Structure formats: C-alpha cells, structure tokens
C-alpha cells in the first residue's frame, strides 16, 4: 500500500477534511481500514483532550503529564498522542523513575525510612533514577521536604484548598504533581 498524507500529526482537523489517501490492493486496504480508523479516533481524542487541558493551563507554568495507566499494548501510541496534544510524557514504565506510593511507605515504616532505603538501593545498584514520593496529607509533605534528593512530590487526592496549601509549602524545593483532586476529602 502507498499512503499520501495531506494533514500532518498535530494539525487541526475540521469535519470533512481528508487526512490521507491510500492506494493498493483492495484486500490489504480492507484488512487495515478498521484498525487504522479506530487508532486514529482514539489517538485524536487523546491529543484533542490533552490540548484542551494544555490550553486551559496556558500561562500558569503547570504542565499536563500523562500516566503509565494506558491501554495494554498501545502505551507508546497513547503517550505519543499526549505529546502531539502538547502534554509531556511522565514515566514510560516502572524502570524510568522510582515512585514511593503509600503502600511502599507503609511497608518501609514511614516516609523518611522509605526515602533512605530507596537512596541506599540506588547507591548499591549504581542507578541514577529520580525519586517521586506520594503524599496523603500536608504532614507527609512536611516530612518529605526534610529529606534531600526527592525530585517530585505527588499530591494525591487532596481537595483544592489543601492542594493550594501543599504547593505553597513545597515552593521551589522540588517539583509537584497533583492527581485526582477530590472534592470529597475533608
């Protein structure tokens, strides 16, 4: 099959626009048609939604990051769609960065111990990975800030008021990440 692309990735598309022409054996075109259309629709939706969020945040300094929680087998395509929409790729897999989540912290015996054990592991294995630590409340953020070497704090399930407090508390000491802002948390 041969493809003539008329509209490049990331371009605005209007109803009725022709994106590309395909020529080749009819059997080959029919076999690929549904897969290509489904992929285009899904990736276009991801890119479009990402662009809407990026536009909403314009001028704030905030960035839209994607997640590892993607559709099995097409993570690379979905992350590509986020980039096309103006977002940024976060971690591709568990090997990119270390994220200390609540269960890791609890298992290690607390935030400080979890961070210390992680740094020791990185030193022993001669790895250079960034550390992200999840915080469940403002007190945990205060404890995280006492440790050096934390790249980013994940403000997880905070309400808007506590998110603002957390961002102010963290300031420029490290990057912040907020996920799933909850309006139900007291």
Q: What is the chain's alpha carbon radius of gyration, rounded to the nearest angstrom?
A: 21
Asked if residue 181 has pLDDT above 90, the reply is no
DSSP conformational letter for 46: H
pLDDT one-digit tens code per residue, 107-152: 999 999 999 999 999 999 999 999 999 999 999 999 999 999 999 9
Count of all residues that appear for the chain in the document: 186
The pair of structure tokens assigned to 41 is 């629709």
Instruction: Label the pairing between strands 152-156 and 97-100.
Output: unpaired
Task: Give the pLDDT score at 32.
Answer: 94
- Give catalytic residues, as residue numbers: 34, 69, 101, 134, 156
Please, where are the H alpha helices in the chain?
26-56, 75-84, 102-108, 111-124, 138-145, 160-170
Task: Give the pLDDT score at 93.
Answer: 79
pLDDT one-digit tens code per residue, 44-85: 999 999 999 999 999 998 899 998 788 899 999 999 999 999
Domains along the chain?
2-84 (no CATH), 97-179 (3.20.20.70)
Q: Indicate the pLDDT class of residue 10, thresholds 50, 70 and 90.
A: confident
Closest CA to 71 of 35, 94, 39: 39
pLDDT one-digit tens code per residue, 29-45: 999 999 999 999 999 99
Cβ–Cβ < 8 Å for 87, 118: no
pLDDT one-digit tens code per residue, 141-163: 999 999 999 999 999 889 989 99
Please state the pTM of the whole predicted model. 0.76
């Amino acid at each position: 099959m041969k493809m003539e692309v008329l509209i490049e990735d990331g371009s605005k598309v209007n109803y009725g626009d022709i994106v590309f022409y395909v020529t080749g054996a009819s059997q080959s075109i029919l076999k690929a048609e549904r897969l290509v259309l489904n992929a285009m629709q899904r990736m276009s939706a991801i890119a479009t939604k990402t662009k809407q969020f990026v536009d909403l945040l314009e001028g704030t300094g905030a960035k839209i990051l994607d997640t590892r929680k993607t559709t099995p087998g097409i993570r690379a395509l979905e992350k590509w769609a986020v980039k096309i929409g103006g977002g940024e790729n976060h971690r591709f897999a568990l090997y990119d960065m270390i994220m200390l989540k609540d269960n890791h912290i609890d298992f290690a015996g607390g935030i400080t111990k979890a961070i210390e054990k992680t740094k020791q592991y990185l030193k022993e294995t001669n790895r250079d990975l960034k550390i992200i630590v999840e915080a469940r409340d403002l007190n945990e953020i205060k404890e995280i800030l006492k440790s050096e070497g934390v790249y980013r704090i994940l403000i997880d399930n905070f309400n808007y008021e506590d998110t603002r407090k957390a961002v102010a508390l963290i300031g420029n000491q490290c990057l912040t990440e907020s996920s799933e802002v909850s309006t139900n948390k007291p």
